[in-house]
Structure 1
Amino acid sequence: MTEWMLRGAMGFALVCVVLSMVFCTVRLLLGPSSQDRILALDTLWMTAMLLALVIGMRTARTVYFDIAMLIALTGFVSTIAVAKFLLRGEVIE
Structure 2
Amino acid sequence: MLENVLLIVFAMIGLSLVLNLWRLVVGPSVPDRILALDTMYINSIALIVLYGIGLKTQIYFEAALLIAMIGFVSTVAVCKYLLRGDIIE
Q: Would the TM-score normalized by the shorter structure come out above 0.5?
A: yes
Aligned match of 2:77 in 51, 75, 81?
A: 81
1:33 match: 29
Query: Cα offset for 1:26?
Result: 1.1
**Aligned-pair CA distance for 1:48:** 0.5
Give the corresponding residue for 2:56. 60
Cα deviation 1:69-91 (Å, max 9, x = unaligned): 11100000001001111111111
For 1:71 and 1:29, locate their aligned partners in 2 and report how far apart those are by CA, in whole Å.
23
- TM-score, normalization: structure 1? 0.91
Identical aligned pairs, as a percentage? 45
**TM-score normalised to the size of structure 2?**
0.95
* Counterpart AA for 1:69: L
Q: Show the counterpart of 2:66.
A: 70
Paired position in structure 2 for 1:14: 10
Task: Give the unaligned 5+ runs of structure 2.
Answer: none
Deviations 1:10-31 (A, max 9, x none): 1111111111111111111111
The count of corresponding residues between Structure 1 and Structure 2 is 89
Give distance in 1, aligned partners of 2:86 and 2:21: 26
- Note if 1:43 corresponds to 2:44: no
1:18-50 per-residue CA deviation (whole Å, 9 max, x = no partner) reads: 111111111111111000000000000000000
